[in-house]
Structure 1
Amino acid sequence: MQKLSDVIGLPVLEKTSGSQIGEVQEVVLNYAKKVVTGVIVSEATWFSHDRGILFQDFVNFGQYAINVQDGKVVQDFSNVLNSVDICGFQTIVGKELYTAQGNYLGILADFVFDPSTGNVKLLELSDGVVTDFVYGRMAVPLTPVLGVMEDRLIVSERMQKLLQALNHKPSEVD
């Protein structure tokens, strides 16, 4: 298991030559399917905006680098980014989580995923810097994300039940 925040900045290497073809700038998620779709990479060219690699094109996903067969797997990601239920990790981290009933759960701090499958397993919730330092963050199984708004995520009521089962009582929204 690996945190998505640890993926940002990883080098992307060609398996055959070992040369670096880019660096991960963003992780692209399909929040409805709860999977990593791919990554946006920076390349050594001027015209490489929204260029990425699909998860299925990774040969190895390691702790210190992502390996691909060759640079041909880097492709235009505009269509992927405009798809339904797709968002970038950095665009949703830091957003407040609410249930569909309006109950506040915390702030999305990170996701934990399986690098061999791309499946997102857990999300980390923050209650603030002091609480994170004293008690740590809550890691809970990812329940369906019902909506991604500009400043918040809406999740199913099941998330609140999971948090309560872990002895964490989210506050009610007034």
Structure 2
Amino acid sequence: MKSRRLIGLPVIDEHRGTILGRVIDIIISPRLQVEGLVIGGRGGKRLLLLDHLTIGQDAILVSDLRGLKPVKNGEHPTRIKDRIGLLVVDREGRELGVMSDLVVEPDSKAVQGIEISSGLIKDFIDGRSEVPLERVDNIGQGAMVLNNEEEQT
């Protein structure tokens, strides 16, 4: 599942059936692993930790409300929105495109890979490519370097 698919999903308390809000952002680690979801609703912005949720096709279910924490400014500096558009190059310095999304496995909540956009026309003709997360060697402020172990799919 693409991470952009999570944005906007309703977050529901599975024991009461109450809608707690909607996913408005995704918090990621420096190595692109999902750490939590930011939800917005009547209670303001809150961080939902991954241990306490189930990712469904149409909703996020929360099993334990103790997994909801208030969002503090600067507490989680890396948001998915901060990484979208990051330049992607290979070890020979060839530009492959820009990171356009993360591929998340819903059951384990682990990031499996990154989606690369090579431009509107190429994306339209060939589709966007995905590479496994293992190919990511370095992630900086302005670019991401991939190793050349295998070709893009």
Q: TM-score per shorter chain, which class? A: 0.7 to 0.9
**Larger Cα-atom Rg:** 1
Equivalent residue for 1:117, pick from 94, 101, 108: 108
Could you list the runs of 5+ residues in structure 1 that have no partner in the other structure?
A: 169-174
List aligned pairs for 1:23-102, cutoff 5 A.
23-32=22-31, 34-45=32-43, 48-49=44-45, 51-58=46-53, 60-78=54-72, 80-82=75-77, 87-99=78-90, 102=93
TM-score relative to the length of structure 1 = 0.76
Structure 1 residue 153, shift from structure 2 partner: 2.5
Is the 8 Å Cα contact of residues 52 and 64 (structure 2) preserved in structure 1?
no
Q: Secondary structure of the equivalent of 1:81?
A: coil
Q: For residue 140 of structure 2, what is the aligned residue in structure 1? A: 148
- Count of aligned pairs: 151
Structure 1 residue 161, shift from structure 2 partner: 4.1
TM-score relative to the length of structure 2 = 0.86
Give the distance between the partners of 2:116 and 2:17, measured in 1 at CA: 37
Could you list the runs of 5+ residues in structure 2 that have no partner in the other structure?
A: none
Structure 1 residue 110, shift from structure 2 partner: 1.2
For the aligned residue pairs, the C-alpha RMSD in angstroms reads: 2.2
Is the 8 Å Cα contact of residues 89 and 95 (structure 2) preserved in structure 1?
yes
Q: Secondary structure of the equivalent of 2:24?
A: strand
Give the distance between the partners of 1:43 and 1:10, measured in 2 at CA: 12
